[in-house]
């Protein structure tokens, strides 16, 4: 057969492929891009198969417009993984593939390196004595670098040279810019270890030997507190891989991609390293993608989406802080990057390491049942002391902005000793509600089933669920009274209260509001390190990945909201936060202290966590999950639906429920729960409902969904409501 039809996956929300005629002279390839007519538009899609048969008469088929690739964009294991992800996460194949491509490829850019702006030294620059530039060290640095050869604009910026310096030098005629395609790097040939490495302790050596003993697929859970030497283990695992010319992929959480992390890897090996994160522009994104594919990068470090980088010769995947919630994408293709990383390693037949001080309950369960190898590091390098910790029973105690008197006293003690204090509160704004003191009226968002958060700094009421914001009203919307009071405490209020309580110390607040400006988080973190602030207030954001050696007191000031949350993962997240901050508080010469404020010091999970540690906590927490038929003992799928009319949404999900109940796979073990109103039952004017499906294993789950989805799509209401499927949701809101 000579295939004359290309079956193409297009970036449209439809679960089907589209057939196009291949014109003479065109030679599309499976996994490569083609541009095709689609209605009045031209779309770029991926060829999934080549055939000579179509369900449609050939006379009705349109022809491929342009063939964009002569080679597939992905090698078979990754292409296979993407197809699998499309069916597992119930997301159309065309959209899934588009999701996994850099924007420029989606727009039709050639999948080959384009020219880069490079700098080279001129004769005049070569003659310039560096000693004469002692007062312009950056200029000297650039000249010195370029005397050893050309360098790209990007890599000079990465060495903290500003564009202004480059302009100054070029104005002086010492350096000149040119556009060129960078030389192919042969990093494998030049590979060396470029710094002295510490001798591994027994546990580290065992971890490294265990992974190295099996060059094929294996999933290893590396559990060890902060500072126990996990990164050192990663470095030791990378070394033989890189030496053999194989590439490494390292995934980190959203806020974990700090210059310190990147520099650890840069210092150790002289291999080209690329990063992938949300701060990259489209050109940079394509460039990292190509560097992976063309073996021009030995190491790629990136957040979630870096998982989709193709590699010519991938040798190992590392998922650092594997418990982190940012690995789950919350819209479009709702994948979990950790889970897909394990799948990818399996398909590529290479080892994958999941590292964490506080592994997710799912991963621990997999380790306990033997699916993952469990490696542990129990010692903290540099023999830092474990922080002291305790619960502070605040029942009946007077609190000022959420702070009890005993906590305030402890804070004073630590501050007077010249140390820093860190307070966690996961609620931004001044107060989560505003109430009328005379009639009890509450200021409510008109578009959501939620109260307004009061932001005092901007004098606004803001809804944290939709974009609505309005000036704070002078009077009650019901009785006209001017006595409007703030209810509850947010980070802004805490900050203000601390300024009153401790006027002699400087306070900084780290949350999404205070760090909106690009680069502001980094400069705050730097200032904290330099001890410009003594009291640090933050949401979850402050806990991730930062190490402040002068912080000796940490307090979680509202533990109860996590203990009594309707999110079944809240307790696990609280425990992870606690262990993280406890692991970072203090250092050898300055022992740290962690205080948890609660009304329920006797709470079983809290007791397990405090007195027996994270491991015992997870034993109790897993036991609770098992009894409640929750993950990891079952698999959940959440159907979310919303529309302007509540009845339509409920009706739609009733019908979806009907489809599942008539499924041949339906039984007592796979209950369908709902439809129920979502925890936030109305958002931005739309009513929200959900249906939860619980299945004992992944296979049943996927079979049920695959059978049900086409039937759901045929429901007339499916066009009237907005709905989505979240397979293994991370949160149920
Ligand atoms: P983690 O990634 O678990 O937080 P790191 O690998 O960053 O731990 O190790 C913490 C510190 O201890 C680092 O400064 C690291 O260089 C050092 N370190 C790690 N392993 C060793 C070792 N075997 N001998 C000496 N120092 C070590
Ligand atoms: Zn709202
Ligand atoms: Zn009132």
Residue 227 beta carbon below 6 angstroms from any ligand 1 atom = yes
Separation of CA 586 and ligand 1 centre (Å): 16
Atom of ligand 1 nearest to the CA of 199: 23
pLDDT at 178 > cutoff 90? no
The domain 635-727: what is its CATH number?
3.30.70.600
pLDDT > 70: what percent of the chain?
98
Residue 229 beta carbon below 6 angstroms from any ligand 1 atom = yes
pLDDT at 154 > cutoff 70? yes
Indicate the pLDDT class of residue 641, thresholds 50, 70 and 90.
very high
Q: 399 versus 322: which is more confidently predicted?
A: 322
Lowest mean pLDDT among 86-95, 147-156, 306-315, 551-560: 147-156
pLDDT at 377 > cutoff 60? yes
What residues pack around ion ligand 2 (CB closer than 5 A)? 445, 447-448, 463, 465-466, 468
Annotation: CATH topology of 202-377: Rossmann fold (3.40.50)
pLDDT at 421 > cutoff 60? yes
Atom of ligand 1 nearest to the CA of 232: 6
Question: Quick check: do 116-180 and 635-727 share a fold?
Answer: no
pLDDT at 66 > cutoff 90? yes
Q: How far apart are the first and last CA of the chain?
A: 52
Separation of CA 76 and ligand 2 centre (Å): 45
pLDDT at 259 > cutoff 90? no
Domain boundaries of the chain, sorted by first residue: 5-106, 116-180, 202-377, 388-431+488-623, 635-727
Q: Is 219 annotated as a binding residue?
A: no
Q: What are 458-466's contacts with CB under 8 Å, separation 24+? A: 461/434, 462/429, 464/428, 464/429, 465/680, 465/683, 465/684, 466/683, 466/684, 466/685
Dihedral through CA 459, CA 464, CA 470, CA 471, nearest 10? -10
Query: Tokens 């404020």 label which residue?
Result: 597
Three-class SS state of 594 = strand
Q: 566 versus 707: which is more confidently predicted?
A: 707
Separation of CA 83 and ligand 3 centre (Å): 57
Query: Tokens 């209020």 label which residue?
Result: 493
Q: 155 versus 730: which is more confidently predicted?
A: 730
Paired tokens of 583:
């692991």
Alpha-carbon gap, residue 237 to 256, rounded angstroms: 20
pLDDT > 90: what percent of the chain?
69
Query: What would the pLDDT profile of 299-308 be if each residue is shown by its tens digit?
Result: 999 999 999 9
Residue 231 beta carbon below 6 angstroms from any ligand 1 atom = yes
Alpha-carbon gap, residue 368 to 625, rounded angstroms: 15
Separation of CA 688 and ligand 2 centre (Å): 13
Query: What would the pLDDT profile of 203-227 be if each residue is shown by its tens digit?
Result: 999 999 999 999 899 999 999 988 8
Average model confidence (pLDDT) for the chain? Answer: 91
Q: List strand residue ranges (DSSP E) for 68-115, in order.
A: none
Residue 228 beta carbon below 6 angstroms from any ligand 1 atom = yes
Indicate the pLDDT class of residue 640, thresholds 50, 70 and 90.
very high
pLDDT at 16 > cutoff 70? yes
Separation of CA 479 and ligand 3 centre (Å): 4
Lowest mean pLDDT among 20-24, 126-130, 275-279, 589-593: 589-593
Query: What would the pLDDT profile of 444-489 be if each residue is shown by its tens digit?
Result: 999 999 999 999 999 999 999 888 999 999 999 999 999 999 999 9
Query: What would the pLDDT profile of 494-528 be if each residue is shown by its tens digit?
Result: 999 999 999 999 999 998 888 888 778 888 888 99
In the CATH scheme, what architecture does the domain 5-106 have? Answer: 3-Layer(aba) Sandwich (3.40)
Separation of CA 483 and ligand 3 centre (Å): 8
Across 296-322, average pLDDT: 96
Q: Are 50 and 20 in contact (CB under 8 A)?
A: no
Across 164-191, average pLDDT: 86
Which ligand neighbours the alpha carbon of 440 most closely? 3
Which ligand neighbours the alpha carbon of 444 most closely? 2
Across 417-437, average pLDDT: 93
Which ligand neighbours the alpha carbon of 467 most closely? 2
What is the predicted pLDDT for the residue at 669? Answer: 76
Separation of CA 681 and ligand 3 centre (Å): 25
Which ligand neighbours the alpha carbon of 449 most closely? 2
Opening angle at CA 175, ends 173 and 177, nearest 5 = 110
pLDDT at 183 > cutoff 80? no
| Residues contacting residue 438 through CB under 8 Å, at least 6 positions apart | 476, 479, 481, 483
- Report domain 116-180's class: mainly alpha
Which ligand neighbours the alpha carbon of 436 most closely? 3
Separation of CA 382 and ligand 1 centre (Å): 8
Query: Tokens 């999900």 label which residue?
Result: 653
Residue 381 beta carbon below 6 angstroms from any ligand 1 atom = yes
Atom of ligand 1 nearest to the CA of 233: 6
Across 306-319, average pLDDT: 97
Residue 356 beta carbon below 6 angstroms from any ligand 1 atom = no
pLDDT at 185 > cutoff 80? no
Across 416-441, average pLDDT: 94
Residue 230 beta carbon below 6 angstroms from any ligand 1 atom = yes
Atom of ligand 1 nearest to the CA of 204: 23
Q: To test ligand 1's pocket by mutation, which of 195, 205, 381 has the most ligand atoms within 8 angstroms of CB?
A: 381
State which CATH number among 3.10.20.340, 1.25.40.10, 1.20.120.420, 3.40.50.300 fits the domain covering 388-431+488-623.
3.40.50.300
What is the predicted pLDDT for the residue at 1? Answer: 67
Q: To test ligand 1's pocket by mutation, which of 204, 232, 235 has the most ligand atoms within 8 angstroms of CB?
A: 232
Separation of CA 52 and ligand 2 centre (Å): 53
Alpha-carbon gap, residue 97 to 50, rounded angstroms: 18
Dihedral through CA 484, CA 487, CA 490, CA 493, nearest 10? 50
Residue closest via CA to ligand 1's atom 24 equals 198
Opening angle at CA 211, ends 209 and 214, nearest 5 = 105
Q: Are 678 and 689 in contact (CB under 8 A)?
A: yes
Across 10-19, average pLDDT: 93
């Amino acid at each position: 057969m000579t295939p004359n039809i290309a079956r193409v996956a297009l970036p449209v929300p439809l679960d089907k492929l589209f057939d196009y005629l291949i014109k003479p002279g065109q030679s599309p390839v499976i996994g490569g891009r083609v541009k095709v007519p689609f209605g009045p538009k031209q779309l770029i899609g991926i060829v999934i198969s080549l055939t000579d048969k179509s369900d449609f008469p050939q006379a009705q088929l349109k022809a491929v417009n342009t063939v964009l690739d002569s080679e597939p964009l992905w090698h078979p294991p990754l292409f296979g993984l993407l197809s699998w992800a499309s069916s597992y996460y119930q997301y159309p194949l065309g959209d899934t593939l588009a999701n996994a491509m850099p924007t420029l490829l989606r727009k039709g850019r050639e999948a080959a390196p384009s020219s880069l702006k490079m700098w080279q030294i001129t004769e005049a620059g070569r003659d310039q004595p560096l000693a004469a530039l002692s007062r312009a060290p950056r200029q000297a640095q650039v000249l010195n670098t370029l005397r050893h050869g050309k360098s790209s604009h990007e890599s000079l910026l990465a060495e903290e040279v500003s564009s202004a310096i480059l302009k100054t030098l070029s104005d002086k005629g010492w350096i000149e810019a040119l556009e060129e395609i960078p030389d192919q790097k042969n990093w494998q040939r030049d590979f060396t270890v470029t710094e002295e490495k510490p001798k591994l302790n027994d546990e580290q050596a065992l971890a490294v030997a265990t992974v190295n003993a099996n060059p094929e697929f294996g999933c290893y859970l590396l559990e060890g507190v902060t500072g126990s030497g996990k990164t050192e283990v990663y470095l030791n695992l990378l070394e033989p891989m890189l030496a053999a010319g194989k590439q490494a992929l390292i995934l980190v959480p959203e806020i974990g991609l700090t210059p310190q992390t990147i520099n650890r890897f840069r210092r150790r090996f002289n291999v080209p390293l690329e990063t992938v994160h949300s701060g990259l522009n489209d050109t940079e994104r394509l460039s990292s993608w190509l560097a992976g594919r063309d073996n021009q990068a030995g190491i790629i470090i990136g957040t979630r989406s870096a998982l989709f980088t193709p590699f010519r010769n991938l040798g190992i995947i590392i998922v650092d802080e594997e418990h982190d919630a940012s690995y789950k994408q919350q819209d479009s293709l709702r994948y979990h990057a950790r889970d897909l990383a394990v799948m990818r390693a399996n398909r590529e037949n290479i080892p994958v390491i999941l590292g964490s001080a506080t592994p997710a309950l799912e991963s621990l369960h997999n380790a306990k049942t033997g699916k993952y190898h469990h490696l542990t590091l129990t010692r903290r390098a540099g023999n830092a002391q474990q922080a002291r910790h305790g619960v502070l029973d605040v029942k009946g105690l007077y609190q000022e902005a959420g702070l009890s008197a005993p906590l305030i006293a402890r804070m004073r003690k630590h501050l007077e000793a010249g140390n820093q204090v860190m307070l966690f509160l996961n609620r931004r704004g001044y107060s989560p509600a505003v109430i009328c003191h005379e009639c009890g009226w509450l200021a409510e968002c008109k578009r959501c089933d939620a109260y307004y958060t009061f932001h005092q700094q901007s004098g606004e009421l803001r809804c944290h669920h939709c974009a609505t914001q309005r000036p704070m009203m002078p009077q009650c919307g019901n009785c006209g009274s001017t006595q409007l009071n703030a209810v509850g405490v947010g980070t802004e209020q805490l900050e203000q209260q601390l300024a009153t309580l401790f006027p002699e110390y400087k306070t900084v607040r780290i949350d999404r509001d205070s760090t909106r400006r690009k680069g502001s988080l980094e400069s705050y973190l730097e200032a904290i390190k330099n001890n410009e602030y003594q009291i640090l207030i933050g949401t979850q954001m402050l806990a991730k990945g930062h190490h402040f050696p002068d912080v000796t007191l940490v307090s979680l000031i509202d533990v109860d909201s996590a203990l009594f949350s309707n999110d079944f993962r809240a307790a696990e997240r609280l425990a992870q936060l606690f262990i993280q901050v406890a692991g970072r508080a203090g250092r050898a010469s300055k022992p740290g202290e962690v205080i948890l404020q609660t009304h329920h010091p006797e709470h079983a999970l809290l007791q397990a966590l405090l007195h027996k540690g994270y491991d015992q906590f997870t034993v109790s927490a897993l036991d609770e999950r098992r009894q409640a038929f929750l993950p990891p003992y079952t698999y959940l799928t959440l159907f979310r639906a919303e529309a302007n009319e509540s009845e339509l949404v409920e009706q739609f999900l009733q019908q979806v429920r009907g489809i599942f109940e008539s499924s041949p796979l339906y039984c007592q073990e796979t209950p369908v729960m709902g439809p129920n109103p979502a925890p936030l039952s109305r958002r931005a004017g739309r009513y929200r409902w959900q249906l939860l499906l619980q299945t004992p294993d992944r296979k049943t789950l996927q079979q049920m969904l695959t059978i049900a989805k086409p039937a759901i799509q045929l429901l007339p209401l499916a066009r009237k409501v907005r709905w989505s499927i979240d397979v293994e949701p991370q949160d149920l809101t």
